[in-house]
Structures are given as structure tokens and as C-alpha cells.
Amino acid sequence: MRLPPTDEPKLSVEESTGQCSLFENSTLGIAITNSTFRFLTANPAFLKMLGYSSEELQQQSFLDICIDEDRDEYRVALRELREGARLQYGTETRYQRKDGTLLPVNTYFSAVSGRAPTQLTFLLVTVDITARRAAEDALRAAQSELTSRALEQFLMCLRAGNVECLERLLTSDVTSISDGGGEVSAAANVIRGRDKVLRLVRKTAERYGDSVGMLFCSLNGLPAVLFESTAALPHLVVRFTMHADVDAAGRIRRLNFVLAPSKLTRV
């Protein structure tokens, strides 16, 4: 590995050999770029992540391997890094591999040599977070399924008027939050405790009865229930959603009601 010359003191043979070994054998993706963030060299782990040979990578810059939607943001950050306004820069992003597929990564930049802007070289360290992302996606999917089941059971018990069933589905310290967005009337304070939350829910259900339909939907990617007035209630427009936060046992620990019309346009 040959790095660009610098004005820094030279390393001993032992120090240089140790650093080269760390560079070559690291499981982290490590690369060196010039002052324009074009790749000068990279270790095997980095090359494997992207699917490029060393010669192919040297024809690329950091921005070339980033997806289009992120480049403007990175141009600003890298310019600040080159000008010394930043000492380092890190972000979670996605690289575009040689075959066109995307690789989720955490990436970290720092300056390693040079005094004039044109002499700077930069160290880029990259962590492949594919496994972490997969685990997070699996956790979200499991949480979503648990929430959907809790909401389904909650609605079944509510329709049947089964108070004992409703009580079992709520934690003792359950809370209820209503969001009117300043557009419609909503409870100003957080309602706390199983009895008070149940009282609110039952009162709402009794008020509208069969005049409001209940449909499962998705709100901001989360399972929710849409309450909407039917033809039986033509003089009053009712439309709001309810979604829940559940614990590991599938019991509801928070109910969120969204009543603001502007927040329900995509439901």
C-alpha cells in the first residue's frame, strides 16, 4: 500500500508494517481518498463491499458510490471537511455497488495528512450494517403484528361491550393522547390510567354507536384503526384514527388518537 507523501514524521518499519497489516486485514471497509474525495486505495473489505477491483475503484469518487438523493447533502459536508470547518464527518447512508444493488452502511470521514487543501488526504471507514438493518426490520414487523392483533382484540371487545376483556388488554398505567393539530377540538391533557382511558373509549363508542364505521388502516407505516361516520350520521362528519403502542406481552400501554384533518389526508 503506498500512501501520498506528507510532511508528517516517518514511521518506523515496525509501525508501518503494523498499520499495513491492520489496514489489509480489518473487517471494516477502509479507504483513502484525495482532496476531491476520489479513491486512492482501499482494503479488501471495502472492495468486497462494493464489488470493485482496486483499479476500478480508483476511477470513482465517494460521491459516485452514493445514491443520487444524498449527494447534495454530502457535497456540503465534505466541503466543510476539506476546508477545516469539520474535523470529521459521519453518517448512515447507502452505497451503490458495482452491480447496482444498495448497501446500507455507517461511514466516517477524517483528514489524515496535508496542510494545504490540495495536499489533504482523507480516511474513510465503513461499517456494513446489513445485518443490523435486517434485525431492525424483523423487529418492526413483529411489533407491527403484535400491535395489529392487540387492536383487533380491542375492537372486538369494544363492539361486544366486554369491559373485562378491555381491561385485560390495557396496562394499568396506559395513557391516551389526542392530536387535534389545532384544527379540531381534542383532549388538552394526557389521560393516564386504565379506568380513565376505558371511560374515554367507552364514552366515545356509546356516543356514536353504529353511526361510525371502524376500519383497519396504516398511519405513518403503523397499524391503526380509522373511525369514520357512515350514511347513518349525515349531519355530523366524524373521522379520526387510533393507533397503539404495546408491550412485549401484547398489552396496550398507549393509545394515540389523531383527529387533525390535515394529518389524515393519506389514510
Boundary residue ending a domain (128, 156, 190): 128
Q: 229 with 162, same domain?
A: yes
Whether residues 206 and 238 share a domain: the answer is yes
Specify whether the CB–CB gap between 94 and 104 falls below 8 A: yes
Beta-bridge partner residues of 223: 218
Residue pLDDT tens, the chain, 267 long: 444 444 444 434 344 444 566 778 888 999 999 989 999 999 999 999 999 999 999 999 999 999 988 899 899 999 998 888 888 999 999 999 999 999 999 999 998 865 555 678 999 999 999 999 999 999 989 988 999 999 999 888 888 889 899 999 999 999 998 887 777 667 778 999 999 999 988 887 777 666 667 777 777 777 888 877 665 444 445 677 888 899 989 999 999 888 776 777 665
Domain boundary among 94, 128, 162: 128
Contact partners, residue 163, CB within 8 Å, separation at least 6: 198, 202
CATH of residue 241: 3.10.450.50
Say how many domains are in the chain.
Answer: 2
Amino acid identity of 199? R
70 and 163 both lie in a single domain = no
| Residue 86 and residue 112 share a domain | yes
- Residue 243: phi, psi to the nearest 5? -130, 165
Least Cα distance to 233 among 208, 216, 203 occurs for 208
Residues in the chain: 267
* Same domain assignment for residues 183 and 73: no
149 and 246 co-located in one domain: yes
What single string gives the DSSP state of each residue in 152-218? HHHHHHHHHT-HHHHHHHEEEEEEEEEE-TTTS---SS-EESHHHHHHHHHHHHHHHGGGEEEEEEE
Residue 2 lies in a domain: no
**Residues 170 and 210 placed together within one structural domain of the fold:** yes
pLDDT of residue 3: 42
At residue 97, the pLDDT reads 96
Q: Are residues 60 and 155 in the same domain?
A: no
Confidence at residue 92, expressed as pLDDT on a 0 to 100 scale: 93
Q: 227 and 212 in contact (C-beta within 8 Å)? A: yes
102 and 198 within one domain: no
pLDDT at position 179, please? 83
Q: 8 in a domain, yes or no?
A: no
In a domain, 22, yes or no: yes
Burial class (CB in 10 A: 0-12, 13-18, 19+), 131: exposed
- DSSP annotation of 7 reads S
The answer to pTM > 0.95 is: no
Residues 120 and 145 in one domain: no
Which pairing describes strands 252-258 and 170-179: parallel, antiparallel, or unpaired? Answer: parallel
Tell whether 94 and 153 lie within a shared domain.
no
Asked if 104 and 141 sit in the same domain, the reply is no
Q: Among the three residues 128, 146, 179, which one is the final residue of a domain in this structure?
A: 128
Q: Provide the residue range defining the domain that includes 90.
A: 13-128
In a domain, 109, yes or no: yes
pLDDT of amino acid 158 = 84
Residue 68 CA to residue 83 CA, distance in Å, equals: 23
Give pLDDT tens digits for 7-41. 444 434 344 444 566 778 888 999 999 989 999 99
pLDDT at 131: 94
CATH, residue 18 = 3.30.450.20
